[in-house]
């Protein structure tokens, strides 16, 4: 495990920093991602792990705002790691960063609780933008990945899962805006409530629909038509 960045940018308050943990077995890639994160004044890398097992032991204690995961990890896979982290650190937004771009890897990751999916190699600016996006409530995806997800939503599906009827009027409104691609802060502004209120609504939506991520909630919403 490499050492996390420890210096706090002078222009950004500690509570405003986007704390990030990396789970990547390739030491060179891991180091490169850490260096990219260090260039941003609003982001801090708090930990970097070489395996899923290390991440499951250490990451929940740190509760970073964002976690970056590879899929092809030694031992436990990244997809299985997502499942554990989604349960142990539910406030952490998880984004996959991997060379795998086939449908099984994509949808298994999203179903496990990932909030975004980028394909390597990725430019530094794109990587940092995705970290900020997923932290703000977005679902950043490489363009061809996003197209596959949209196409999957258009395919005929089986009977809808129960639970949608349990949403309150406000929760249903939030879910509709999430499905349209709005970020949490944009939804808060449009509905005239605080960012934290939207977070609370989203948490209740996840609980009532029995899902773990925005992608899962939107998929279920679209399935209901």
Domain boundaries, the chain: 14-151, 159-223
* Residues 70-85: tens digit of each pLDDT: 998 999 999 999 999 9
Rounded Cα distance between 92 and 95, Å, is 10
Q: Is 47 helix (H, G, I), strand (E, B) or coil?
A: strand
Which of 108, 26, 15, 113 is closest to 70 using CA atoms?
26
pTM of the predicted structure, to 2 decimals: 0.65
Amino acid 224: pLDDT = 63
Rounded Cα distance between 36 and 218, Å, is 31
* Residues 23-52: tens digit of each pLDDT: 999 999 999 999 999 999 999 999 999 999
CATH code for the structural domain at 14-151: 3.40.50.2300
Rounded Cα distance between 89 and 10, Å, is 28
Q: Is 81 helix (H, G, I), strand (E, B) or coil?
A: helix
- At the second CATH level, the architecture of 159-223 is Orthogonal Bundle (1.10)
116: Cβ contacts below 8 Å, ≥ 6 apart:
93, 94, 95, 96, 130, 133, 134, 138, 139, 140, 141
């Amino acid at each position: 495990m490499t050492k996390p960045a420890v210096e706090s940018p002078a222009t950004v308050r500690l509570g405003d920093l986007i704390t990030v943990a990396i789970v990547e077995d390739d030491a060179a890639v891991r180091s490169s991602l850490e260096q990219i994160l260090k260039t941003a004044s609003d982001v801090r890398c708090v930990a970097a792990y070489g395996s899923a097992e290390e991440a499951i032991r250490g990451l929940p204690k740190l509760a970073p705002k964002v976690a970056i995961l590879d899929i092809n990890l030694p031992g436990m896979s990244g997809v299985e790691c997502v499942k554990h982290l989604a349960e142990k650190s539910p406030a952490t937004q998880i984004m996959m960063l991997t060379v795998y771009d086939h449908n099984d890897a994509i949808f298994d990751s999203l179903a496990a609780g990932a909030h975004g999916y980028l394909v390597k190699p990725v430019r530094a600016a794109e990587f940092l933008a995705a970290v900020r996006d997923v932290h703000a409530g977005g679902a950043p995806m490489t363009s061809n990945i996003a197209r596959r997800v949209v196409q999957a939503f258009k395919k005929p599906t089986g009977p809808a899962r129960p639970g949608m009827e349990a949403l309150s009027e406000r929760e249903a409104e939030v879910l509709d805006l999430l499905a349209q691609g709005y970020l949490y802060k944009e939804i808060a502004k449009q509905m005239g409530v605080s960012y934290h209120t939207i977070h609370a609504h989203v948490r209740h939506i996840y609980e009532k629909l029995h899902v773990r991520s925005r992608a899962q909630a939107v998929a279920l919403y679209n399935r209901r038509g």
